Chain A
Amino acid sequence: MADTDSKGPNYPENVKTTTSPKETTEPLKGKNPGDIGATIRIQIDGIDVKVPLGTTILEAAKSAGIKIPVLCYHPKLKIAGNCRVCCVEVQGARTLQPACATPVAPNMVVWTSTPKVKQSIKTVVNLLLASHNCDCLVCDAAGACELQNLAYELGIDVRSRQFPISCNTLPEIDSSSPVLQYDSSKCIQCTRCIRACSEVQGKGIIAALHRSKNVMISAGIRNWSDSRCDGCGECVQACPTGALSQKVSPKVRVWEARKVRTSCSYCGVGCQLDMWVSENKLVKVEGADIVPNYGSTCVKGRYGHDFLNSSERLKTPMIRRNGVLQEATWEEAISEIAFKIKKIKGEHGNDAIAGLSSARVTNEENYLFQKTIRAAIGTNNVDHCARLCHASTVAGLAQAFGSGAMTNSIAELEHAKCILVTGSNTTETHPVIATVIRRAVREHGTKLIVVDPRRIDLVNNATLWLRQKNGTDVAWINGMMNVIISENLHNRTFIEQRTEGFEELRKIVEKFTPESVEEITHIPARDLIEAARIYAKAESSSIIYSMGITQHTTGTDNVLSIANLAMLTGQIGKPFSGVNPLRGQNNVQGACDVGALPNFYPGYQKVSDTLIKEKFEKAWGVKLSSKDGLTIIEMMNAIEEGKIKGLIVMGENPMVSDPNLKHVEKALRKTEFLVVIDIFMSETAALADVVLPAASFAEKEGTFTNTERRVILLREVLKAPGQAKPDWQIICDISSALGYEMKYHNAAEIMDEIASLTPIYGGIHHYRLQEKGIQWPCPNDDHPGTVYLHKDKFSRGLGKFHPVDFIPPDEIPNEEYPFILSTGRILFHYHTGTMSRKSVPLNEYVATGYAEIHPDDVKKLGLEDGGKVLISTKRGKIETIVKSTEKVAPGSVFVPFHFAEAPANMLTNDALDPIARIPEYKVAACKVEKPH
């Protein structure tokens, strides 16, 4: 299980650090600080080995190709040195030395297989076997069990057992967790799980209990389910035996399954997964030990993929006949689409058709989708849900820096001296990035500042938590800049050499004194000053933000303010420092990159730019429209106004995801012709005229682009069910049927076409992505990709300060609607739940929607924790369940948006940011009451 080849999670990939990575990233690993230095020569088993001082005997032996058995050692974890199977003979030492914990010394002579060493290993393994419940016949770990392998290697059979069996063979198994179980009788007390939970995940939920032979691990007071464990399974992956295992036995032996590496589709982190399959059935999922996740996953990535084998998957195309969706053949479905689209085109013009592309499908598919809409249909009416999440980032950062994406890499976060997280509940939305942040705090002393109206999980690790009033972000950011300028903490050299517009900024922030900001935001002036100082003074500061910043009518303003703050202090364009919007969906970055936007061709090349248009016309062999298309919300409005008649939706579910759902439903019902391509019968698909069954991410090839701009590969793990087909094949069929011939042999071919037209993807080809992907910009085939952006020069040349004044949210609480409503995601579900709500364990964690309400309000309104509550806004109302928690401030309500039965978006405000056209999901005035 332990892949000793990995560098561990602490190595930022390709990060150009100013100090050597050894100094900044290596944990202490049983070494005295200051031990690191010159190369020395030692001898192992008669072989001369040259290694740097500070290396352990184990590492040195490995470099010489000498294998020393290990059990408690794991390359990702700090040294525990407790199993004692790696003890070797060191000449001159009184006793055997543990190879994993003993640093080399000059001229050391080591012997790894003397009779004494062999006897010692044998005794240890014998001791472990005597206390181990050897029910290998029915143990899921058989074949992957490190103890089993070691016993096998040493040939310890029943006859050579030295000790009587001394374990509880009928143990109580703690299977209270929805995803994992613990069998103490198979535990060898190596503490790998404890260290994984604490050091890698930064959670520290698992601990050792009791002492001597009664040592066992424990989470929670009585049961695993009593603990704060969120089921990420880092411990299960770290366990060398079957003590910690996946709860549902796969009933497939490891050697009968094959391992396929692919990318997770549950969020923008882009975790690399090793999916084990046998006979087209998913056996288990492990985190792959490579960038960006280095073996970690979240509960969804590891245990939430049972939806793939769900019986509810769409397996055949369907056409609505007499008001009912009925099964049809592909030919029928495609010709129906071609006929209807052509008809609408003929009657109402090209712009009467629109397409919703998807942040869930691959780059190749998004590319083909927008190509079809643009080239085959002849309109720029293509958009996708990035409009609803980071449109303001794309708009704001493009204005300030020249390009809108995470400036740094995920791995860099671990070494930032200060991290400012705002409007991102990272633990729930980007769980693996949250582990990086926690590691930064716990292992490297990073100062974490959280600015969030909710008491999110990261507050537990924060140096400072500023609780702003919802929708007052420009005010606190301007306030921080006011402090920075008045205390002379701004970076004059950076401002002079790299930016423009500073004077205008200085003027606007003048009035945002900490005291006046306190009045607007309710953030104590003292805390704001402290935060400004920490952020400005740190050697490297990274800002992380997400929907809490972008989903406002002032979303673009918020983003511009963040850019201002970073430029003011020069905390950008260098390692570990920058502005890092975390992209929510697995391929929202890529969908934007490859042009699923109404105003951009692939690579953010403007539709309105004639030269660009000509380039694409030439490449695609067709005349293109120079008119910007409509955005999602505008499309819905246009449908209602009768301007748009036909809509093609690929892998999106606006019936749950879009604001003001009543309005959305009205619009969708009004379409003359609605096509939905999906893997399940989503709420939107149920309204469609034609539904096409798609292959899921695990059933096709292609690429995603994760939040750190890394283009990563998808591989075919399973065969798609029934007649389901990859979206790119479906699009090719539709396009061809529409008369625009489209034919590709595979996804790689499509990527080659993208590369030829998209400068930032210029050097991106599937063959280059096999190992760990490439971060764009990657202009040509020799370019290694870009770890962090804006080094020496911003994409737009000089960075531009944009003076931004504070504007209150569109809707503020009033007498009728006195509460502030905010919406968002939770760890156990993803987006509109089409995937996660089909997963058994994920639903065991959270099965249905709820509203977080402060205990004081619960009391005041006569509600009950767990009881029902009615929440209403001007737009609609939902009934849901009360979750009484101090996570939300008094006067605030938080509703997760995944649940169609209590859809938060019935309530949300579809007022738009004037620039990015993003709706204000995060602030609405609402009424909270007991249902009558």
Chain B
Amino acid sequence: MAEVEKILTSRIGTKSSSDIDSAMQNGAYEALIKALTKMTPEQVLNEVKTANLKGRGGAGFPAGIKLSFLPKDKKSIKYLVCNADESEPGTFKDRLLIENDPHRILEGIIIAAYAVNATSGFIYIRGEMASGAKILEKAISQAYERHFLGKNIMGSGLDFDIYLVRGAGAYICGEETALMNSIEGKRGEPRTKPPFPANYGVYGKPSNVNNVETYANIPTIIEKGGSWYSKIGSQDTPGTRLFGLSGHIKKPGIYELKSNVTLRELIYDFGGGILGDKKLKAVIPGGSSVPVLKADEINVTMDIQGLKKVGSMPGSGGVIVLNETVCIVKALLNLITFYERESCGQCTPCREGTHFLRLLIENIEKGEGVEGDCEKILSICKNIMGRTICPLGDAAVMPVESFIKKFRDEFEFHIKEKRCLPETFKMTTIFSE
């Protein structure tokens, strides 16, 4: 087991880690002070770029480059948005940071604000995270008290406010443009792009949206330098990642690891192996939206390159482990039901497509499937993929396509035999409805 450098979770576990005093005893806001007093905004932005920090929300876009899309002038209104609407099934890493080290997130946002001359920031937190919202609220007010927020922060000339906005229970609001609509009090529906958020974001102003974990990396990058950071772990996703292990695993939880850790290490070394010492059947390696892997595909690193080899991606870092008792059809039904319900209903292919996908999969699961259903499902998938305004359509399709392609026999068995595979039983709830 490789020695793990704690970047994101270093303060978690210390006493009252969410409180500003205790956080500051453990180094909070030192990077901010360094940035404000010793660095120019350009230098800060360059460090983030050099670090090659990749977005941790799922798409893995380089955060420094994204930040630099914002207009460069000092006068215009610019918004930073922190996406804390963590709702992807199997993903619970941001919640850990929010509840235990909110100041790391705030510090990251404020440093980013300094780098791009942003005027205000919004933290959009998932509606269900009531306690997280309270903790963040308190943290924000503490940051104001210490003058890390507000007018002329630490005498640097930077004016920056953070507003906390709570969602109302829609997965789609984690999509950046739907999130912006929701902040504006509109229906949470993704916007067509272009215009892109960097030009036309919240309230029509240039905006930058990043994930909680992405922001949380920034203080360390400033503290230790971009090039130091870029050398940690895998080249394509430098730094550490928070992996959330769940499902049929002995030690579920959040693990901060370098991204070149292999999936096998993650499951067996860190996660302690499969629950009930059963056989591993399948793993969803990066949140419910990424293609599923079979048991023999786990000898890959958890970075972009590694997972690409087996047709999947790191996504949000939520690793869902399924053992041999799982009926794969039922598991997929569970997932597609989620996506059907969470489709905002704008685009025809997603709104109608996810509905018919669910109907077809439900039929198979109920023993009412007919020959050719799998083809039909794949054909619908083909016509949803890439045909929608936002990636929810793609997110719904990827598990469906991969489940069928990788477990085709089990689907055909269901269709022919009208029942589950003998070794599986009606799955107890892994994903809560």
Contacts and interface: CB of A to CB of B under 8 A. Distances in A.
Interface of A: 28, 30-33, 35, 79-85, 87, 94-96, 98, 101, 103, 119-120, 123-124, 127-128, 130-131, 162-164, 166, 188-189, 191, 207-208, 210-215
A96 B355 CA distance: 22
Contacts of B340: 212-213
B204 to A, nearest CB: 9
Given A128-B352, A212-B355, A213-B355, A103 B347 contact: no
Contact of B194 (A32, A120, A164, A191): A32
Nearest to A213: B355
B342 interface: yes
A95 B385 contact: yes
B170 interface: yes
B345 A208 contact: yes
Identify whether the interface residues of A are mostly helix, strand, loop, or mixed. loop
B100 interface: no
Interface stretch (B195-203, B209-217, B313-321, B408-416): B195-203
Nearest to A34: B199
B346 A130 contact: no
A96 B387 contact: yes
Lowest 6 CB-CB distances: which A-B pairs, in order?
A: A95-B386, A215-B345, A127-B352, A123-B383, A81-B192, A82-B346
B344 interface: yes
A905 to B, nearest CB: 46
A82 B389 contact: yes
A124 B348 CA distance: 6
A120 B379 CA distance: 10
In the complex, which of the residues B347, B348, B376, B387 has the most CB atoms of chain A within 10 Å of its own CB atom? B348
B341 A212 contact: yes
A127 B356 contact: yes
A211 B349 contact: no
Interface in B375-389: 376, 379-380, 383, 385-389
Interface in B56-103: none
Given A32-B195, A33-B199, A96-B387, A212 B351 contact: yes
A28 B386 contact: no
7 contacts: A81-B389, A95-B385, A131-B355, A166-B356, A189-B351, A210-B345, A215-B345
A212 B352 CA distance: 8
Given A208-B189, A212-B343, 10 more contacts: A82-B348, A95-B386, A124-B349, A163-B356, A164-B359, A189-B348, A211-B345, A212-B351, A213-B345, A213-B355
B309 interface: no
A119 B359 CA distance: 21
A84 B384 CA distance: 10
B345 A212 contact: yes
A103 B388 contact: no
B231 interface: no
Contacts of A127: 348-349, 352-353, 356
B200 A28 contact: yes
Contacts of A215: 344-345, 351
B192 A80 contact: yes
A96 B347 CA distance: 14
A207 B196 CA distance: 24
Contacts of B199: 32-33
A98 B192 contact: yes
B186 to A, nearest CB: 9
Contacts of A162: 376
Contacts of B356: 127, 130, 163-164, 166
Contacts of A119: 383
B388 to A, nearest CB: 7
B78 to A, nearest CB: 15
Given A79-B192, A98-B192, A166 B355 contact: yes
A120 B383 contact: yes
A95 B341 CA distance: 25
A525 to B, nearest CB: 32
Contact of A28 (B195, B345, B347, B379): B195
Given A28-B200, A32-B196, A163-B356, A207 B347 contact: no
**Chain B CB within 10 Å, residue with most, of A83, A163, A208:** A163
B354 interface: yes
Interface in B257-314: none
Contacts of B386: 94-96
B187 interface: yes
Interface string B335-371: 0000011111111110111111001000000000000
A87 B350 CA distance: 14
Q: Is the interface of B mostly helix, strand, loop or mixed?
A: loop
Nearest to A207: B187
A95 to B, nearest CB: 3
A30 B383 contact: no
Contacts of A96: 386-387
Q: Name the residue among B353, B383, B385 with the largest chain A CB count within 10 angstroms.
A: B383
A449 to B, nearest CB: 24
B345 to A, nearest CB: 3
A213 to B, nearest CB: 5
A123 B192 contact: no
B352 A211 contact: no
B335 to A, nearest CB: 15
A82 B347 contact: yes
Interface in B170-189: 170, 172, 187, 189
A35 B199 CA distance: 11
Contacts of A79: 192
Contacts of A120: 383, 387
Residue from A32, A80, A98, A127 with most neighbouring chain B CB atoms (10 Å): A127
Interface string B95-138: 00000000000000000000000000000000000000000000
Nearest to A208: B187
B348 A128 contact: yes
Interface string B133-177: 000000000000000000000000000000000000010100000
A84 B390 CA distance: 12
A32 B200 contact: yes
B77 to A, nearest CB: 14
B155 to A, nearest CB: 35
Contact of A211 (B170, B348, B353, B387): B170
Contacts of B348: 82-85, 124, 127-128, 188-189
A212 B342 CA distance: 6
A214 B359 contact: no
A189 B346 contact: yes
A32 B194 CA distance: 6
Contact of A30 (B195, B341, B343): B195
Contacts of B196: 32
Contacts of A213: 340, 343, 345, 351-352, 355
B181 to A, nearest CB: 12
Contacts of A83: 347-348
A211 B195 contact: no
Contacts of B200: 28, 32-33
A562 to B, nearest CB: 35
A84 B195 contact: no
A379 to B, nearest CB: 63
A191 B187 CA distance: 13
Contacts of B354: 212
A211 B343 contact: yes
A32 B170 CA distance: 28
Nearest to B387: A84
A504 B389 CA distance: 64
Nearest to B344: A211
Nearest to B383: A123
Nearest to A214: B345
Most buried by A among B346, B386, B387: B346
A85 B348 CA distance: 9
A524 B185 CA distance: 33
A120 B387 CA distance: 8
A80 B346 CA distance: 9
A123 B380 contact: yes
Nearest to B186: A207
